Amino acid sequence: MNQIKSDYLVIGSGIAGLSFALKVAEHGKVNIITKSELNNTTTILAQGGIAAVIAKDDDIEYHAKDTQIAGAGLCHSDAVEIMVKEAPQRINELIDYGVTFDAKDDGSFDLAREGGHSKYRILHVADETGKNIQEKLIERVREHPNIHIYEQHMVVELITDHHVLNNLQSAFNVCFGAYILDEKTGKVKTFHADYTLLATGGASRVYLYTTNPQIATGDGIAMAYRAGVRIANMEFIQFHPTALYNPGSEPFLISEACRGFGGILRNASGERFMESYDKRLELAPRDIVARAIDTECKLHGEHCVYLDMTHLPANKVRKHFPNITSHCKENLRIDITKEWIPVIPAAHYVCGGIMSNLNGQTSMHNLFAAGEVANTGVHGANRLASNSLLEALVFAHRAARRVIEKKRNTLNNVLIPDWDDTDVTNPQEWGMILNNRTELQTIMWDYVGIVRSTVQLNRALRRMSTLYEEIEDYYKRTKVSLELLELRNLSAVAYLIVRSALRRNESRGLHYMTDYPEKDDKYLKDTII
């Protein structure tokens, strides 16, 4: 039998997965699974920073209130309170790991402010905060003797009671690990674990234009859904207002911190248009700014708007945003201290996901979730800027604490069969996979984007249902590969987003319906599938 056993199985290598692994590794053997390299994550692309109440004029009540306002009434107050209260402790842990946040000359933190925040509370490392955090966590993980890393390994399915051969009655609705594809050999291995953490990140690759890396294909959400785990609030997809407009290239994030630093959004005529949409101007929550940009582009028949940093001190702009400065110079020959930056919204973050409680526990025994893949209730209908890294840290910590406190899993006598693909073939239909992926992403961008309608959503559902069935049929008769698994997961996530959106006949946060433009308290609840 080709089976690998550990106490803890961590699927994903971003901030949630690595921080969880470091803590539980003191209590048992840990296997980390990542379908690419350890450092290919969404975490490493996080520019702006991480929010926490540090300043003397700030308070956790302010942070909680800002989070709840951005969340448009759907935030879970208990989860928000836990996150903002525990933030300083988690920040101190990062500092202990070696993360050096930017400081002023007097030694105090150089705190930034972003959209939706009433105070300066964003800790950062220039405009590469996620990269610095990721690198420090990787250093610790690679040094730990109890942690084994499996790169180029892609999860196929969770192993549940439906798979076990001896069908134990006491093992109902339990996760025993996962079937995992070794991408180099093409073989599927069986990973058996007492506890499994899903930390696979987001799913924004379901859209044609996104700030997310290629790996963000919703793998954790899709496999949890197929296993019968509860999924919530998938209609709330955050579009970052300012991705660099550079047709033919992968979207590049222009950090919200640029607007927090004083950047001004202008349309093609040079007008500062946010004055017409929100009194908070460029620092309004992301859903408002993204819709404003979308509206301006449609009104004026333009492909983008512009972020103006030219009125700010050039030396300070270069110091605070070295990565953005160099990227714009190298790719568009733009000096952002002298020229406007062309920007457009792009899919950025999934506010919904696998339902988890305050300790990261999902609706399946021994299965936990943390990070963007999870729906803790913190973000509600719209995530407040720089709460993502914080949420991942706080709830990964609580999940680690919970599994450490729990007694060891006593269901070690289950008989798990090896993966069997003897009856499948490898038909030469690769063109279909590529075409289906592009079609799926285009449908989502055109009909399930920043602004939606019932007609558009129903059209998307009809097309998505057909795609979903075609992909499932192809999957059942084909040997698994990374590309096929990603396509299958994307189709499941797209289907979940459309179904969830059709259940909410109102406009709230990131979900804006032209035929239901107002909030309706009848929908002041989670959308659960």
Q: Helices in 29-152 by DSSP H: which ranges?
A: 60-70, 77-97, 129-143
Tokens in use for 246? 């550079």
- Among the options 113, 205, 286, 504, which is catalytic? 286
Told to judge if 286 belongs to the known catalytic residues of this protein, a careful annotator would answer yes
The 10 Å CB-count burial string (b at 16+, else e) for 153-168 is bbbbbbbbbebbeeee
How far, in Å, are 58, 242, 343, 446 from residue 293 at the CA level?
A: 31, 9, 9, 16
**DSSP conformation letters of 374-428:** EE-SSSTTSPPTT-HHHHHHHHHHHHHHHHHHSPPP--TT--PPPP--TT-B--S
**DSSP conformation letters of 25-38:** TTSS-EEEE-SS-T
Alpha carbons 180 and 485: distance in angstroms, whole number: 11
CA-based nearest residue to 31, from 189, 209, 237, 245: 189
Helix, strand or coil for residue 472?
helix
Given its phi and psi angles, is residue 28 left (phi above 0), alpha (psi -120 to 50 degrees) or beta?
left
The answer to whether residues 447 and 457 touch, using CB atoms and an 8 Å cutoff, is yes
Catalytic residue numbers, as ranges: 286
